[in-house]
Amino acid sequence: MTTTTTSASPAAAATASVRWRRMLLWIAHHALAIALSIMFLGPLVFIALTALMDDNQALTSQLWPKTWNWGNFTEIFEKAPLLTWIGNTLMYSVLATAFMLLSSVPVAYALARFRFRGRKLAFLMVITMMMLPPQVVSVPVYLIWARFHLTGTLWPLIIPMLLGDAFSIFLLRQFLITIPREYSDAAKVDGCGEFRTLVRVILPMARPAIAAVALFSFFYCWNDYYGPLLYARTDLDHWTLSLGLAAFRSVHRVQWNLTMAATLLVIAPVIILFFFAQKVFIEGVKLTGVK
């Protein structure tokens, strides 16, 4: 028995040494990724821990909560109309994304598939619109919506998406030109028109690109601050989460635990959505050529 135990001990030690070396090699090979992950997750962990502290401990040298104050998340709903802001943000993000897809997909399909005079000029105009900052045209556009008595609401941000989005058109067009024409030609031989070819053949093949631009649009609208500040700042009932969070921070700047709880509530849906849709999102970004 003594001989067996003695012989097994060096073998176990050798196995442990090999595992330790492999782990060190893995850490060395992924050192940059690990460092970037810590840099990215560090602020989120800090926000989550501060959101669960009491008012006296928040932003002190003690980084771990003494008591877990889950009531902070219910208290912020009592001190601010967060449900109204969440509803407004969802309406803005969902409708703007839906309108963007409804208008941008046909335009991208036309630029990628149709041969007509001025096609390159039209595509150049789309690229030019991508380079134009929205602040440049804020004053004349605001005056136009003011004549229609829509200022003070979110509709000046939603309705223009029916006219397409330059960035989304560009991404979709870049993907659609990679789809072989043989598919659409075969559909036309079977009697499909352009609309049926787009709906039955092209759109199912373009799902990754459509998902990517939809997520880009949803994230932009969810985090948009400038647009709601410009059009809806005069009406509290039409505020979004980004605008409401800025006001909440200025009112409750001393109560950093409540401010962090509200911040965590705002960013959590975006993180959860990306977590479940990251596969199709990354695939769409790769296929559209975004770097």
Is 110 in a helix, a strand, or coil?
helix
Two tokens, residue 156? 């000046």
pLDDT for 284 equals 62
- Asked if 47 contacts 263 with a C-beta cutoff of 8 angstroms, the reply is yes
To the nearest 10 degrees (0 to 180), the angle between helices 31-51 and 2-29 is 90
Q: From first to last of its 291 residues, what are the pLDDT tens digits of the chain?
A: 444 445 456 767 777 777 788 888 888 888 888 888 888 888 888 888 888 888 787 777 777 888 888 888 888 888 888 889 999 999 999 999 999 999 999 999 888 888 888 888 888 888 888 888 888 888 899 999 999 988 889 999 999 999 888 889 988 888 888 888 888 888 888 787 888 888 888 888 888 888 889 988 998 999 899 999 999 888 888 899 988 888 887 765 667 888 888 888 888 888 888 777 777 767 666 655 554
In angstroms, rounded to a whole number, what is the distance separating the alpha carbons of residues 156 and 232? 9
The CA distances from residue 214 to 9, 51, 128, 167, 223, in Å, are 58, 31, 21, 11, 14
